[in-house]
Amino acid sequence: MDEELDKRFVGEFERVRKELGFKPSLEQLDDIFYFRDFIQKEGYIGTKLSRMLTGRIVSTYGMWEGYLHSLLMPSSNNMPNIEESKMMEEADRKEIMKYMIKLRAFVTKNAPIGLTDDKKAEAEFFNEAVGLWDKELKAYLTRLMKKVSEGWAKNLKEQDAKVPKHKKEQNYF
């Protein structure tokens, strides 16, 4: 880790937080969006740090939105995607659609903010990013991913039952 870059980032983050007036701390945002790792990976602090960070939020939520979409409309070239889609019941599909819409409604707020340079809306974007995660998304995605994980465990057991067991292991050595 580049300690100097991290130290500069913490200072710049606090400056931006104060300038915009949003509530979440670096620790709160970093726990969800891994801002510090992101800055380390990029290797620099952008001149428009707030836009850089809102882009990271959009990227993270966009990844989840894409995953949810794949559960409803799996790619025919992606076997794990197809299998995970089969694990979903009709009620799951309705809930997935609800959260896809919530995510899309949230992430699309970022473009007008960037186009208009609306600092008040940008501050609210940071606030909502944490609120959405804490109040709804984390619990929902945790529940969903447990279902998917359990589905894979069930698939594995079913596959193991189909594989013939040999009476005697062959040992060539």
Classified as helix, coil or strand, 108 is coil
Q: What CA–CA distance (Å, rounded) separates 20 from 123?
A: 5
The per-residue DSSP string of 17-69 comes to: HHHHT----HHHHHHHH-HHHHHHHHTS--TTHHHHHHHHHHHHHHHHHHHHH
Give dist(CA 33, CA 56) in Å, integer.
7
For the residues 119-125, what does the mean pLDDT come to?
98
pTM, entire model = 0.90
All residues at 6 or more sequence positions from 97 whose CB lies less than 8 Å from its CB, including other chains? 72
CB-based contact 130:30 (threshold 8 Å): no
pLDDT > 90 in the chain, percent = 90
* The pLDDT value given to residue 173: 61
pLDDT at 45: 97
**Alpha carbons 131 and 14: distance in angstroms, whole number:** 19
pLDDT of residue 159: 86
Q: What is the pLDDT of residue 160?
A: 85
Q: Does position 122 have pLDDT exceeding 70, yes or no?
A: yes
What is the structure's pLDDT at 170?
A: 61
For 155-167, what is each residue's pLDDT tens digit? 999 888 887 766 5
